[in-house]
Amino acid sequence: MKIFPAIDIKDKKCVRLIKGDFDNKTEYQISPIDQASKYKDHGFKNLHIVDLDGALTGETSNIDIIKEIVSKFDFKVEVGGGVRKFESIKQYTDVGVEKVILGSVAIKDKNFLKEACEKFPNKIALGLDAKDGYLSVSGWKENSNLLTLDYLKDVNDYGATRLIYTDINRDGMKQSPNFEETSKIADLSNCPVIISGGVSSIDDIKKAKSFKNIEGIIVGKAIYDGDINLEELAKEDA
């Protein structure tokens, strides 16, 4: 089970949102670079970064910070947040990002997803963010009226090499992930799945290990708020 500690960047600071709401955010005093250093000190190998400025603008707003994190700490980094152009994917892969997460753009334009997987083999992760079984887009402000499982069936053989499934109702709430829905996604998906949203304890990590086709789990707010001890968490990382 790969553990992906999370860094969400907004205005060059580490922040966490509640259910993706930009008006309901917590800012932390630590910088993204220092937070990454802390994760490295504990021996983590993977990192999940969201560029929240990018999610709002569609630009690679924090590429300098991300480049510094990749080059300094040698993490396997996955990055998401407003990636809407092939040029943005290239910018990220050029600075050493392992996986670029496509979310809204892939849902609104399946052909973009297909082409991105062809142009950047093994570099594309598909980010599916759902509320009550339906996909949400545009920073979770819009419901797409697309059932997550139906959409996945359509794009399952496009070539994405990782799927990140987030239950929006759980995100930032620390109420445990939606394991039931995630296992349905994992059963269907041609590529391994990362669980995201609501991780609240080490028990959630242990439970995640019992599901098949789950590659890893993203842990965010529970780290920042001190609910999960990093040393304990690092022991679960394999």
- Nearby residues of 105 by Cβ (< 8 Å), 6 or more positions away: 83, 84, 112, 113
Residue 112 burial class via C-beta count within 10 angstroms: exposed 0-12, middle 13-18, buried 19 and up = middle
Local structure of 124: helix, strand or coil: strand
Contacts of 203 (CB under 8 A, 6+ apart): none
Q: Is 144 helix (H, G, I), strand (E, B) or coil?
A: strand
Q: Distance (Å, rounded) from C-alpha 137 to C-alpha 146?
A: 10
Contact 138, 104 (CB under 8 A): yes
CB 181 within 8 A of CB 197: no
Task: State the sign of the Cα–Cα–Cα–Cα dihedral 174, 181, 56, 32.
Answer: positive
Q: Which residues are catalytic?
A: 8, 129
User: What 3-state DSSP class applies to 117?
Assistant: helix
What are the start-end ranges of the E strands in 134-236? 134-137, 142-147, 162-167, 193-196, 214-219
